[in-house]
């Protein structure tokens, strides 16, 4: 039976709180009577008051010392289902011609949150807050990334400006401060602190002089008290805080952790009815016959819908990066007009449309993994390309730019658009043999050059610890490696088109992009950029040096991928190069991840960003980043699992 509001309120914890309140009221009456009778200060036993104070102000040294008896506990008959996620088939029993459900007076998540914030101490959070003077200095660096974040992934309950952060800071000094508000504030500060300019010198506590330590302290605290707490992390504010925490982990945690956190966010959001709220809001907005609901209901639905839409957008971005299945595939992003009323491109609408279109690439990846005919993959690629071109035709002439004088959300969107174009065509472009898939090769080559140019312009404008830096570096790595592969193939091929590729111009562009990566590597949080630049230089040396009869090998190190050993196959006596996976001695007996079908070589594991498969038309270059089934980039970066692959040039007989 669905629990009413009164039943929900009548939990054991609620009853205890009610009794404590009644006892406190009785003691107040007793003290007042004593004061009247004695004509002075009452001499009654003050223990109940002392107990109340100690429960509110008791200091806690660490998160693990938080009192477990302050947690919210429900009666054993509580199913954990709230009015927002009661099963549809049960709701139909009580919403028909005879019965109608009573609208709840307030949001269940809000009531739960209110109860929880009074049952947890905030002393641990307050210890991490910087002094007010330093806080003012820090927030001045927050506005650029906050504006970008809220444009791309809007959330009604998250800070948007420097003023919002300072207002939340002022509220955080109270013993009754909102725990989730403080968590959101600290994560926002951590995201800002890691973007300090190189010449910033912190003042105040030692932890603020070391941004890395501060970020780790905040990450550990929020993870233990919010992210891993089903009750607190499952509220609307808790989900919003965890989404922000996920942005912080983008530059810190392994991919596996980020992936699992996002899956958990999706599950909690579904349990709390966020998808239904988004659907209900759309029905109200589209309905012309029904009277509008109460404004407060619309506000609540709008907040939930915004958070759910951000979850779906982030899910699509991560799935595209790692070629992994969507958790929100049944929930399309809202359709919005690309051009706003002021004639400008709506950044959010453009992004949603672009990534929704690009997720069809996951379908192409699945077809490839299943060994489906190339015609099916080609059909998906062509349809996606046409949709992306239609999107591009909607923006005003002159909107696309390469050079930017300052940080702008349009610069990031146009950069991502070129990356999406590479991803759309990469799989077939790597199969180009001088005749088949020339369109994909030409399109991918052009997009890779555009991406490199935009990277050279955009990357120096970003703060050292900007939350998306490593993603941008990885995307640039994808495009630059394809450029090197194209030049290497052109030097080996007799095909007319490949001989027209301006190798000198392309390699000059590659050099400039690598120089930009070196610049980023020299700044704070630049380790991934350094590894990417080193890997590009190693690949260039391997592929463009004269080929010999000896096998040539290198090892690549990428923080988001792991260690990859590759080799350039020795030139065969008949002049034709064939794909031969190279395995270290201790793995030569285990060939389970090799292609089982020589005609359609389907690697058992999923691929990374390149996500190619192999067949008779392909050589080992297109097979370059294919990883074994155990996803080494999912493992901890200290893992000993390392893929061993062999690279050679495209067949030069076209």
| Three-class SS state of 645 | strand
Residue 451 pLDDT more than 80?
yes
Report the range of poorest mean pLDDT among 93-107, 129-143, 145-159.
93-107
pLDDT tens readout for residues 11-36: 556 666 777 777 777 777 777 776 66
Report the range of poorest mean pLDDT among 174-183, 487-496, 505-514, 602-611.
602-611
Based on its alpha-carbon atoms, the radius of gyration of the chain, rounded to whole angstroms, reads: 29
Q: Which pLDDT does position 608 carry in this prediction?
A: 35
CB contact burial 345-354 (16+ within 10 A = b; e otherwise): bbbbbbbbbb
63: DSSP letter: G
Q: Which pLDDT does position 407 carry in this prediction?
A: 86
Instruction: Quickly tell me which residue has 């030409």 as its tokens.
Output: 442
Residue 102 pLDDT more than 50?
yes
Q: What angle do CA 439, 445, 450 make, to 5 degrees?
A: 125
More confident residue, 197 or 571: 197
Show the tokens assigned to 358: 């690009």
Report the range of poorest mean pLDDT among 25-29, 40-44, 250-254.
40-44
- C-alpha to C-alpha distance for 303 and 484, rounded to whole angstroms: 46
Q: For residue 43, what pLDDT band results from cuts at 50, 70 and 90?
A: very low
Are 448 and 483 contacting, i.e. CB atoms less than 8 angstroms apart? yes
| Cα first-last separation, the chain | 71
Residue 267 pLDDT more than 60?
yes
Show the tokens assigned to 567: 């080799």
Using alpha carbons, list the distances in angstroms from residue 520 to 471, 512, 514, 530. 13, 13, 10, 8
Show the tokens assigned to 242: 């965890």
- C-alpha to C-alpha distance for 234 and 50, rounded to whole angstroms: 33
Mean pLDDT confidence for 221-226 = 93
Q: Which pLDDT does position 121 carry in this prediction?
A: 62
- C-alpha to C-alpha distance for 96 and 91, rounded to whole angstroms: 9
DSSP H/E element including 299: helix 295-322
Report the range of poorest mean pLDDT among 57-61, 172-176, 287-291, 402-406.
57-61
Q: Which pLDDT does position 17 carry in this prediction?
A: 72
Are 222 and 215 contacting, i.e. CB atoms less than 8 angstroms apart? no
Mean pLDDT confidence for 297-320 = 90
Q: For residue 93, what pLDDT band results from cuts at 50, 70 and 90?
A: confident
Q: Which pLDDT does position 314 carry in this prediction?
A: 93
Question: pLDDT over 90 for what percent of the chain?
Answer: 35
Backbone angles phi, psi at 17, to 5 degrees: -65, -40
Mean pLDDT confidence for 368-393 = 93
pLDDT tens readout for residues 532-559: 999 999 999 988 887 665 667 888 877 6
- C-alpha to C-alpha distance for 362 and 540, rounded to whole angstroms: 29
Residue 122: alpha-carbon gap to chain centroid: 28
pLDDT tens readout for residues 608-645: 333 333 333 334 333 333 333 333 334 444 333 344 44
DSSP H/E element including 615: strand 614-615
User: β-strand 644-647 against 614-615: which pairing, if any?
Assistant: unpaired
Of 113, 129, 116, 124, nearest in space to 65 by CA: 124
Q: Which pLDDT does position 84 carry in this prediction?
A: 55
Are 557 and 528 contacting, i.e. CB atoms less than 8 angstroms apart? no
Residue 604 pLDDT more than 50?
no
- C-alpha to C-alpha distance for 626 and 603, rounded to whole angstroms: 8
DSSP 456-514: HHHGGGS-TT-TTHHHHHHHHHHHHHHHHHHHHHHHH---HHHHTS-HHHHHHHHHHHH
> How confident is the prediction for the chain on average, in pLDDT?
75
- C-alpha to C-alpha distance for 292 and 259, rounded to whole angstroms: 39
- C-alpha to C-alpha distance for 285 and 299, rounded to whole angstroms: 12
More confident residue, 355 or 56: 355
DSSP H/E element including 288: none
């Amino acid at each position: 039976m669905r629990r009413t509001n009164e039943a929900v309120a009548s939990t054991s914890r609620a009853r205890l709180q009610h009794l404590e309140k009644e006892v406190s009221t009785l003691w107040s009456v007793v003290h007042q009577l004593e004061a009247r009778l004695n004509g002075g200060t009452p001499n009654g036993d003050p223990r109940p008051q002392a107990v109340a104070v100690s429960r509110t102000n008791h200091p806690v040294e660490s998160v693990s010392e938080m009192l477990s008896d302050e947690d919210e506990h429900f009666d054993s008959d509580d199913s954990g289902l709230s009015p927002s996620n009661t099963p549809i088939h049960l709701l139909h029993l009580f919403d028909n011609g005879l019965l109608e459900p009573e609208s709840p007076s307030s949001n269940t998540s809000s009531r739960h949150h209110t109860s929880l914030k009074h049952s947890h101490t905030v002393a641990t959070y307050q210890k991490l807050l910087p002094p007010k003077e330093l806080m003012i200095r820090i927030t001045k660096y927050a506005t650029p990334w906050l504006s970008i974040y809220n444009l791309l992934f809007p959330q009604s309950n998250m800070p948007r400006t420097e003023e919002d952060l300072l207002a939340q800071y002022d509220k955080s000094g109270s013993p009754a401060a909102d725990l989730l508000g403080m968590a959101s504030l600290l994560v926002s500060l951590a995201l800002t602190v890691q973007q300090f300019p190189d010449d910033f010198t912190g003042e105040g506590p030692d932890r603020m002089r070391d941004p890395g330590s501060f970020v780790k302290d905040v990450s550990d605290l929020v993870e233990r008290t919010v992210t891993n707490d089903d009750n607190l992390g499952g509220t609307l504010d808790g989900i919003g805080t965890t989404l922000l925490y996920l942005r912080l982990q983008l530059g810190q945690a392994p991919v596996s952790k980020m992936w699992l956190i996002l899956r958990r966010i999706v599950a909690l959001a579904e349990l709390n009815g966020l998808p239904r709220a988004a659907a209900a809001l759309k029905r109200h907005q589209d309905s012309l016959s029904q009277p509008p609901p109460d404004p407060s209901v619309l506000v609540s639905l709008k907040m939930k819908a915004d958070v759910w839409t951000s979850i779906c957008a982030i899910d699509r971005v991560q799935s595209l990066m790692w070629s992994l299945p969507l958790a929100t595939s049944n929930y399309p992003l809202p359709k919005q007009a690309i051009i706003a009323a002021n004639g400008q491109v709506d950044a959010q609408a453009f992004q949603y449309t672009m990534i929704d279109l690009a997720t069809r690439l996951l379908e192409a990846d699945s077809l490839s993994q299943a060994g489906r005919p190339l015609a099916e993959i080609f059909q998906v690629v062509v349809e996606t390309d046409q949709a992306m071109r239609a999107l591009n035709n909607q923006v005003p002439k002159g909107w696309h730019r390469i050079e930017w004088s300052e940080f702008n959300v349009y610069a990031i969107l146009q950069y991502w658009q070129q990356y999406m174009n590479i991803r759309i065509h990469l799989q077939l472009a790597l199969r180009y043999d001088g005749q088949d898939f020339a369109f994909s090769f030409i399109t991918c080559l052009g997009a890779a050059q555009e991406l490199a140019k935009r990277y050279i312009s955009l990357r120096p404008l970003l703060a050292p610890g900007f939350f998306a830096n490593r993603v941008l570096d990885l995307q640039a790595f994808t495009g630059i490696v394809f450029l090197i592969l194209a030049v290497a193939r052109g030097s080996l091929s007799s095909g007319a088109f490949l001989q027209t590729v301006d190798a000198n111009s392309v390699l000059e562009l590659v050099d400039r992009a690598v120089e930009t990566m070196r610049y980023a590597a020299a700044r704070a949080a630049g380790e991934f950029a350094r590894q990417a630049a080193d890997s590009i230089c190693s690949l260039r040396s391997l592929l463009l040096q004269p080929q010999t009869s000896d096998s040539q090998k290198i090892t690549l190190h990428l923080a988001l991928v792991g260690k990859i050993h590759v080799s350039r196959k020795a030139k065969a006596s008949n002049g034709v190069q064939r794909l031969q996976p190279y395995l270290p001695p201790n793995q030569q007996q285990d060939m389970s991840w090799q292609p089982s079908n020589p005609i359609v070589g389907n690697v058992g594991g999923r691929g990374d960003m390149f996500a190619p498969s192999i067949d008779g038309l392909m050589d080992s270059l297109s097979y370059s980043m294919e990883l074994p089934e155990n996803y080494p980039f999912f493992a901890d970066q200290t893992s000993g699992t390392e893929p061993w692959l062999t690279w050679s040039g495209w067949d030069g007989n076209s």
